[in-house]
Amino acid sequence: MNNFTNPERRQVHSISETNSFLTKMYGLMGMAVLVSALSAYLTMTTFRNVVMQMPPAMMWIILLVPLGLSMGISFKANRNPVAGLVMLMLLSVIYGFEFALLAGFYTGSQIASAFVAAAAVFISMALFGTFTKKDLTNWNAYLGAALIGFLVAWIVNMFLNSPTITYIFSFIGVIIFTGLVASDAQQMKRIYTNYGNQVSTNGLAILGALQLYLDFVNIFMFLLEIMGIGNDNNN
């Protein structure tokens, strides 16, 4: 995305074309969420016995695959949108599988509440980022730096294994990714509006869908953790 920081930019697409692009991007993002939900459901039902018999090594490989797929989508989407879309759907399936593995640690009401809350936060911030006149460019820089520091601290806490710190970090994670939803939404709209004639529209929509999907997933996971820890504390 750093290839689109030239200050000599100009609008090359009409409002209707931009709206069509945004519809495509959010449609792909929504499809990814639905695929993850279906994958999680099938993992917990139809393929439950198969999953229970999987060796631990295979589990670790599956947990690491999303990182490679995310990088692959970032590199391939503009050059080969079809390959980018296939990788996005595969990423969604794997995340659904991982959600199913975590589902056993939470109640159905906690999962439903976290999903509804994440959806409400995402929709609100996506709309804000898409339609606000305020320039959110600085948000990406600040939130990106905050995210790096947050990830380092999160890794350290994996060794400390402090429930209190984890609880606090979950709130921080929600705040960071909530901000990223707005800034990513505005950034993708700006890139398409000003530079959409230089790249594949479908590829750009897939890249935007990936960013927003990952934002949503992280908000959902942190909210789920907050509800799970909060419920344990109340008990």
Say what the alpha-carbon torsion angle 105, 106, 107, 113 is, to the nearest 10 degrees: -170
70-118 pLDDT tens trace: 999 988 888 899 999 999 999 999 999 989 888 878 888 899 999 999 9
| Statement: residue 2 has pLDDT above 50 | no
HEC string of 160-209 equals HCCHHHHHHHHHHHHHHHHHHHHHHHHHHHHHHHHHCCCCCHHHHHHHHH
d(CA 212, CA 214): 5
pLDDT, residue 51, reads 75
d(CA 39, CA 9): 41
26-68 pLDDT tens trace: 999 999 999 999 999 998 888 777 777 777 777 777 778 888 8
125-155 pLDDT tens trace: 999 999 998 988 888 888 988 999 988 988 8
Reference 224, options 87, 66, 81, 117; nearest CA is: 117
pLDDT band at 176 (very low <50, low <70, confident <90, very high): very high
pLDDT, residue 7, reads 43
C-beta separation of 182 from 125 below 8 A: yes
